[in-house]
Amino acid sequence: MDLSLTDDQVAILDAIDTLTRPYAGASLHEAGFALPDAQLDRDLAEGGFLDIGFDPDLGAVSAALVVERLARLPQTVEAAASALIRPLLGGDLPRPLCLVEEGRTTRPIRFLREGATVLLVGPSGVSTFTATAAQVRPEPEALYGYPMATLLTVPAERTLHAIPASEVLIRWRIALAAEAAGLLAAALDITVAHVTDRQQFGRPLATFQALRHRLAQAQVRANGVRWLALKAAATLDPGDAALAALHAQESARATVYDFHQFFGAMGVTLEHPLHLWTYRLKALVGDLRGRGGQGLAAAEALWG
Amino acid sequence: MDFDWTDQETAFRDRLRALLADTLPDDWERFSQHGPASPALTRYAESFCGTLAEQGLLIPHWPVELGGQGLDPWHQTILAEEMWIAGEPRGGQYMNVNWIGPTLIRYGSPDQQARYLPPIAEGKALWCQGFSEPGSGSDLASLRTRAERDGDQYRVTGQKIWTSYAGLADTCFLVCRTSDDRKRGISILLVPMDTPGITVRQIPSLIGEGDIHEVFFDDVIVPVTARLGDEGQAWEIIGYSLTNERLGIPRYALARAALDRAVSILKAQDEFDGEAVKIEAAHCAALTEAARMASYAIVDRRAKGEAIGAESSSARFATVMAERRVCEFIVEYLPEALADAHPYLKMHHQRGIVAGIAAGAAEIQLNIIATDVLKLPREPR
């Protein structure tokens, strides 16, 4: 076992940091619930960062590291599905890649828009299609940290992919966990900064144990989600993937409310950027039937 | 990143499992319900540790020149996991090989090493740690047991409490006060438990026979040569000991094994059929595996010779979360386990409930995470 990043992984993450540095100065105070950035998306795609999972030498662990790192940005980029699931499908499908579970196609879908690739996965297999304008209803009022849209119809004409749905679900769960790990870490960071600066009763909020212990527990959870996501990316085992996604969704549920609580009224304004991370976590909590869905998948994989 | 075990590590684990299967008595699972500190298990541990020593498996992580094989922290972790999953047949001796021995190797005088290391290496020693006092638990530096210097001797007076193994231990790793300076006034004495003036009283406990004691020191005469390190050096030495033991027992491994056992029993009884029980079991497994990985991240640092850092407290707390949820799962779904139907699960429950207390309270771990991992400003004192 060697849990250090490889030299390649260090170089990739450094390159991402360099590429994304100019975006760190973006004004966050006028963002809505989500902060998509088409230029950042193009830069990442052209830099090949979303194709790392295609390289067998780098593989899913490196792709998960990229997803985790990008999720820390306030901007939202469709990286998780592209980096981790697209390698199963082939590289020529247009991005963004939108994941939809069979039987749940009427739910709001992240990044869905005209021209996006929609991947439908379920008992009848794995298929994709390119969304047309007529099939998509944008949801600009959605309370989520992603651009969301609803799929109005599922076309009968779809490209079938000869891969088991189970493989897609494994990678979906890893993608979810890796993204949640980055979101949890970033939300925790910004909350830590706030309670360190903010003074009440003549001392920083961070000196009150009622907050300290809850933030420490959030650290334990964020750390656990990251490690489970990376391990699942290494093994591609259905049980590891389901446990990682379960822990991610449970940890999002357990921490998001606290993060907002610790900001007081500031945390319920759109002027403060906290929601750019937490309202993405809220969207991930419902993926693949939520914690119950991950729990049942994990139980099936672990104990049959 | 590589999450696989090496062939050598896998072979090491297999060897340990084979030895456990060959060595433990047929009624071991019922027998192991005796706490690790019980007279029965302590007696058994002496023979078991002797067998381990003969096979080179008692102190494989010690330096070669001291009888070990210099195996790395991954092997030490595998050893600790397999023993703890098996119900810890080494009894209280796990403490000797994990941190008391290494601490003596680092700080002990040649005489102390010659006297204490061979019995540990042969599996014949039993130590207790005189740390907590009635007024000093998490705040260890407030301890009041006094060692007054009198020529070549110390005169020790005071009281220790919650002391594991004290009833049968041959030696006490005693932390006591030699001056009023809060931390620099603390020293360590290695005290034979048959020294006149020491009285041990067992406290009946929820976690098994022989586990918790009070130890009274009334004018106990200890030669200065029994002091470990310098006067006032205890805080530094304890800090070193903790780097060997900061992760603590790999409780996540037994918690997962108990969970798997509970699920297999439920399945055999056709009771692992509802969604609620499956989902709750999965939550338990997610917590045990999160704790395992957080712990492995620390082992990885140790194996590379890096500073362990405060993240070990994060791994400790993750383990407490896992232990608690597995204990609660078994109480809820297999209540008969606590009434003796499943000795292995009962054994786990008795050991699991102290996860957040023994070797440093969970709340102290959270304080360390807050201050040293998250870098939050300290609480006012």
The token duo for B240 is 């070193």
Alpha-helical (H) ranges within chain B are 7-23, 28-31, 39-54, 73-85, 93-95, 101-107, 110-122, 234-245, 251-268, 275-303, 311-333, 343-352, 362-368
pLDDT value of residue B374: 98
C-alpha–C-alpha distance, residues B153 and A47, integer Å: 72
Evaluate if residue B246 carries a pLDDT over 70: no
User: Model confidence at B312, in pLDDT bands (50, 70, 90)?
Assistant: very high
C-alpha–C-alpha distance, residues A219 and A238, integer Å: 26
Task: Select the residue of A6, A219, A296 nearest B373 (Cβ to Cβ).
Answer: A219
Evaluate if residue B209 carries a pLDDT over 90: no
The token duo for A92 is 């020529």
pLDDT value of residue A132: 98
Evaluate if residue B316 carries a pLDDT over 90: yes
The token duo for B113 is 């090493």
Q: Worst-scoring range by mean pLDDT, A205-219, B27-41, B338-352?
A: B27-41
Evaluate if residue B353 carries a pLDDT over 80: yes
Residue A120 is inside which H or E element, if any?
A: strand A117-122
User: Model confidence at B54, in pLDDT bands (50, 70, 90)?
Assistant: very high
Q: Three-state SS for B88?
A: coil
A117-122 and A136-138 beta bridge pairing: unpaired
> Tens digit of pLDDT for each residue in B128-177?
999 999 999 889 999 999 999 999 999 999 999 999 999 999 999 999 99
Q: Cα distance from A197 to chain B (closest Cα, Å)?
A: 10
Chain B residues in contact with A243 (beta carbon < 8 A): 282, 285-286, 289
Q: Three-state SS for A213?
A: helix
pTM score above 0.90: yes
Nearest to A34 by CA among A66, A81, A74: A74
pLDDT value of residue B74: 96
CATH, domain range B7-125: 1.10.540.10
Average pLDDT over residues B106-135: 96
Amino acid making up residue A267? G
Q: Worst-scoring range by mean pLDDT, A195-199, B308-312, B365-369, B375-379?
A: B308-312
Chain A residues in contact with B294 (beta carbon < 8 A): 220, 223-224, 227
User: Model confidence at A49, in pLDDT bands (50, 70, 90)?
Assistant: very high
Task: Select the residue of A4, A219, A298 nearest B285 (Cβ to Cβ).
Answer: A298
Domains of chain A: 165-303 (1.20.140.10)
Average pLDDT over residues B209-220: 92
Nearest to A71 by CA among A223, A276, A232, A261: A276
User: Model confidence at A301, in pLDDT bands (50, 70, 90)?
Assistant: very high
User: Model confidence at B242, in pLDDT bands (50, 70, 90)?
Assistant: confident
Q: Is the CB of residue B320 less than 8 Å away from at least one CB of chain A? A: no
Chain B residues in contact with A240 (beta carbon < 8 A): 289
- Dihedral of CA atoms A261, A264, A267, A270 in degrees, nearest 10, equals 140
Q: Three-state SS for A151?
A: strand
Alpha-helical (H) ranges within B37-96 are 39-54, 73-85, 93-95
Q: For chain B, percent helix, then strand, then coil, each to nearest 5?
A: 50, 15, 35
Given an 8 Å threshold on Cβ–Cβ distance, is B376 in contact with A207?
yes
pLDDT value of residue A40: 97
Domain B129-232 fold: Butyryl-CoA Dehydrogenase, subunit A; domain 2 (2.40.110)
User: Model confidence at B244, in pLDDT bands (50, 70, 90)?
Assistant: low
* Sequence spans of domains, chain B: 7-125, 129-232, 246-373
Domain B246-373 fold: Butyryl-CoA Dehydrogenase, subunit A; domain 3 (1.20.140)
C-alpha–C-alpha distance, residues A252 and A235, integer Å: 24
Evaluate if residue B315 carries a pLDDT over 90: yes
- Dihedral of CA atoms B211, B214, B215, B217 in degrees, nearest 10, equals 170
Burial, A157: exposed, middle or buried (Cβ in 10 Å; 0-12, 13-18, 19+)? Answer: exposed
Task: DSSP letter for A36, please.
Answer: B
Task: Select the residue of B1, B275, B366 nearest A5 (Cβ to Cβ).
Answer: B1
Q: Is the CB of residue A225 less than 8 Å away from at least one CB of chain B? A: yes
Q: Cα distance from A291 to chain B (closest Cα, Å)?
A: 8
pLDDT value of residue B174: 97
pLDDT value of residue B340: 86
The token duo for A51 is 């194709």
Nearest to B148 by CA among B107, B184, B189, B196: B189
Q: Worst-scoring range by mean pLDDT, A236-240, A287-291, B248-252, B323-327?
A: B248-252
Average pLDDT over residues B99-108: 95
The token duo for B99 is 């941190």
> Tens digit of pLDDT for each residue in B189-206?
999 999 999 999 999 988
